[in-house]
Amino acid sequence: MVPWSKVSSAERAARFRGWLRLSDRGTAAVEASMILAVVITLFFGTMQAGVYYYARSVALSAAQEGARVAAGEDASVADGIAAATVRASSTDLLKGQSVSGARTGVEATVTVTGECVSLLPFLNPSITQSASRPVERVTG
């Protein structure tokens, strides 16, 4: 074997390139871990979309129920808010919900606001759903 000091620069470069080619051991594990991180994020993102859609439909259902109750002939907006609160509390996916409402002589409106449970640490989706109904009145 020739001492390193007596090896030409061209031969040193060739040896170094050969060493680089032989030193790619373990790259499959690194590549797999990078791809796996992306796949897991996409999987949880898809699951988060489903959870968000379901929580949004629960909030809309609660708002519609509250508006239906508040629009009754002998009902008040407090009755509608109570009904919407019961419906919104029926699931654990909608947390920190608040219910507000208003009733005029012709229309009752209930709004449900809350936050969806997050599966991804960097995402905190909020939900606001509102429903209105005409107030029942006796005519004639």
Asked if 111 and 126 count as a contact pair (C-beta separation under 8 A), the reply is no
| Cα 21 to the center of its chain, rounded Å | 44
Is 33 inside any structural domain? Answer: yes
Is 115 inside any structural domain? Answer: yes
Is 7 inside any structural domain? Answer: no
Is 56 inside any structural domain? Answer: yes
User: Quick one: 71 exposed, middle or buried, by C-beta within 10 A (0-12, 13-18, 19+)?
Assistant: buried
36-61 residue pLDDT tens: 999 998 999 999 999 999 999 999 99
Q: Which two tokens stand for residue 12?
A: 């040193």
Q: How many domains is the chain partitioned into structurally?
A: 1
Is 125 inside any structural domain? Answer: yes
1-39 residue pLDDT tens: 667 677 777 777 776 666 555 566 777 888 899 999 999
Quote the pTM value: 0.74
Is 16 inside any structural domain? Answer: no
The residues with which 109 forms a beta bridge, in sequence order, are 102, 132
Range of the domain at 95: 26-134
Is 3 inside any structural domain? Answer: no
Is 87 inside any structural domain? Answer: yes
